[in-house]
Amino acid sequence: MLTDDEIEAGKRRTKYTDDPHHEHNDCIRLAYEWLDAQKTIKSSRKDWHALKHIIEKWAGRYVSQTDVEVAAELHPRIAGKYPNYNLSGKLTRPNDRRLADISEAMTQGQRDRIDEEVYSIVEP
């Protein structure tokens, strides 16, 4: 799991597309775990959804766009700029075990609105 020091270093390196807004470092951890479950491709996609909404519905907690940007900066396989990362068009629904050690997971009501239809693959 990402440490607070790693996250703070990632925040300093990130080239934000908007004014940074971070409520809790766990939001970045949640975004990182979601990104980690995804399959990547060689180049960035140009036709993406608002990833933050997909991530927060899985994580059960608000996640900002800038949380996703920091998570992408920290992840070794993710390239591109929000929302056009090098993610496969077939999204993977991360296994909920990824949420187990993140205290802020499932603390807000976003999970009630999860759209399982956006996922083509389910992580075992």
Give 20-66 pLDDT, tens digit per residue: 999 999 999 999 999 999 999 998 877 777 899 999 999 999 999 99
**Alpha carbon distance 55, 93 (integer Å):** 10
- 83: preceding bond cis by omega (within 30 degrees): yes
- Give the pLDDT confidence score for residue 49 in this predicted structure: 73
SS3 110: helix
For 5-15, what is the mean pLDDT? 97
Contact 33, 98 (CB under 8 A): yes
Condensed to tens digits (0 to 9), the pLDDT of residues 86-110 reads: 999 999 999 999 999 999 999 999 9
Nearest to 24 by CA among 57, 51, 2: 2
pTM equals 0.96
